[in-house]
Amino acid sequence: MSIHGILGEQTTDYPTQYSPETLYPIARSLGRDAIGWQDDKLAVGVDWWQAFEMSWLNKQGVSQVAIARFGIPASSPFIVESKSLKLYLNSINFTEFASWDEVQALIAKDLSACVQAQVTVELFRLDDETSGLHIAQPDGVCIDDALVNSSEKVTLCAHPDASLLRDEAEARGESVISDSTQPYRFYSNLLRSNCPVTNQPDWGTLAVSITTEQPIHTANMLRYILSFRQHNGFHEQCVEQIFADLSQHYQPRALMVRAWYTRRGGIDINPCRVSDMSLLPTPSRLIRQ
């Protein structure tokens, strides 16, 4: 997948006046058609965007700063390209507003128009202890050392390879996630893919909560996650690919897949897909964010 035009250029003119036209929508169907799975099952969840370079002017002309969180429903027909969002947010740096509520309402209106769905917008003061932006830790078992006792060298894959989830690992005596409670919870800090616009690497932490009768082989799961390392895909599409692959392989009774991607341009993107909205966790922030 590739996106061409001004968004992929090395130099960009940053607007200094309010410019909602800079927001650039990208159809979710581009990624979902490539996955080739049930679109309706990929449309359950939320993409949380967290912006740490949020600023505007009050009526005195004094700069105001905040941390912003945008919630884009997975059912929206479009996502917003991240560089265009940065340009848009920069465009209000020198715009005067009477109140924080006015800023919040304007951004919600513009983002909702861009993605053609209702976007939630929250603005937090830097000392707001209720924002959920303190440093959190993923739930479950970290699987990053699952291959430490293996002599096999992991090869680079051009694209994600769901066949790596097959159960050959059991014959090799590799570890299985075992937990007396359901669902199983595990995470990896080794998720990496490439931006389809700039081809720059995107790093993230992936977390999975799954209820299934099939065994989860940690080495297989880690191999599968590593197969994304050279894949060109937006954050949301990578999470949806993983959600689809785990759904098809494990036939889970319940599934939650979420990722916290590291920040670029002051913005981090945190997609989450669930088999049922009752499984949706609260947004949070990790140490690399």
Catalytic residue among 47, 110, 114, 195: 195
* Residue 171: per-residue pLDDT: 46
Name the pTM for this structure. 0.90
What is the distance, to the nearest Å, from the Cα of residue 88 to the centroid of all Cα atoms in its chain?
20
pLDDT tens for residues 220-249?
A: 999 999 999 999 999 999 999 999 999 999
The token pair at 217 is 């082989």
- Please provide the size of the chain in residues: 289
Handedness of CA 61, 267, 125, 78 (dihedral sign): positive
| φ, ψ for residue 177, nearest 5 deg | -65, 125
pLDDT tens for residues 77-86?
A: 999 999 999 9
pLDDT tens for residues 188-206?
A: 999 999 999 888 999 999 9
Catalytic residue among 47, 110, 114, 202: 202
251: left (phi over 0), alpha (psi -120 to 50) or beta: left
* Residue 129: per-residue pLDDT: 81
The token pair at 17 is 């006046």
Interatomic CA distance for residues 158 and 160, integer angstroms: 7
Smallest CA-to-CA distance from 81 within 161, 159, 12 is with: 12
Interatomic CA distance for residues 23 and 110, integer angstroms: 8
Catalytic site includes residue 127: no
Instruction: Please identify every stretch of the chain with a pLDDT value under 70, giving residue numbers as ranges.
Output: 1-12, 168-182
Q: How does the average pLDDT of the chain come out, rounded?
A: 91
* Residue 152: per-residue pLDDT: 87
Catalytic site includes residue 276: no
| Cβ atoms of 80 and 25 closer than 8 Å | yes
Interatomic CA distance for residues 28 and 58, integer angstroms: 36
* Residue 181: per-residue pLDDT: 46
Interatomic CA distance for residues 87 and 90, integer angstroms: 5
Handedness of CA 225, 230, 231, 235 (dihedral sign): positive
| Cβ atoms of 86 and 47 closer than 8 Å | no
